[in-house]
Structure 1
């Protein structure tokens, strides 16, 4: 389950709880809605009573209705602009528009400048309002969405920043700063893979952009650090043969029994050896070997051969040397 999906689910649960509290939902429906909230949370692994999880997933102060309202206004404005373009081309020369497009663009730039000034003064909410007005006048300018994304990030609302950065890129796919805004917001949301992807897309447009290069290196280092902290250490192999490897996984030793299957499948050396065997046809040849076929029949019949028996079989020992000999190196 991705963290972004859980953020969305928590926002939905917050919205539904708020609807119960403010009386939007009838009292007769309150109990049914509370049951639905519990089922939604359990289905997506989201517990609104878990303060640690809520702190990690919350998008506050942004709310689901406010995000949806911004989307609807932007969508309607873009749709209206697209519909107005054909109509304008067919209008007569004598027709006089109520407002000049040039006037709207000029006013939008003024609002952008106002937003920039408010940003420098750290009045982020007022800056967001100014950029929103600029977008309403000229929704085809990627800079306005990018600047509003920066304002959202500055106030800690990185999820809203992601939405605006993606809108900036959709408006102008060559707008490099949009990719930087997107990567920064994803990085702050600790989605380092998505952040690295955004920085890489920007670098395809500007390969020498040092800001994007530095940000990409930082994101990649976080991905590596995260992978290292989550991985478990594999048992050390002995002399490098398959017998030593299986013994190290708990099968050989003095017990003579079969190794633990889960340990084998989680061991990177064993997985690498299996990939090598598949690549060079060794797996197919192995399954044609009578000794292997006999062993598989015995396993299917419930009889598990001991490790010493496996390693004393010349055919299997040669196979171990062929495919496991290089693992210790």
Structure 2
């Protein structure tokens, strides 16, 4: 929809509002609210509002244009309320739908979509038009719009099995096998002998079972295989929930981002030392228990221990070089 078309559409809606104010016995407060809404829409869409200053940039909008006089409510009645659609109008819509079917056979899907949309504009109550347009959307790869059209079709005919079948296809393409399965089941309930529905349902069931039975893999450990510092297993430290939670907070902390960016831009020993001090300070403030645990492990490693503060070192010598206890 072009900007100019949007202006004419909004103007037709504003005409409806003005007619409602004139025809209905609204209270003064409601009338005032509707008038404010009109002014807001006129401003948003740059529409003429009777103010000479507001019409300086309205040369493209012509109040005498046929589109400016469209009765939006009349169109709504003619298109959406079936009893008011004349037989001639219904026949015209049916002929346009048939043109769309021919275009689909010729694989002219975009042209077919336009034809079905024209048919819907003439008769918006026909479920076949929406279902056929859903097929065109599917061919064009727009599966969300295909699903939406299938749902519109089912609003007008809840027993339309083909609409359920195409809804199942759309959901499958949208990677929603559970919803697809429900749609196929309803299609089969309405048309039990349809082989296509049965095959699609079988394939969807298998896919859903594969998804449910797929093993859940743990996220890769970025420190796996990383050399230890002394006897501290960095890989095991990464699996410590306290450590991972703290790491996640660090990664989302804007201050940490600024510190790392500064370190990348300035790799001098002074900047590295300063950044390290800030990281240590952050760790100590946010999780003092984890900080003290890591500091204790580093202290034990420096003394030749295992890093847990209790067991002897790898050479059999206890911490502080004390003789082994018996």
> Which TM class, normalised by the smaller chain length?
0.3 to 0.5
Q: Relative CO higher for 1 or 2, CA cutoff 8 Å, sep ≥ 6?
A: 1
**How does the TM-score come out when normalised to structure 2?**
0.42
**Rg (Cα) greater in structure:** 2
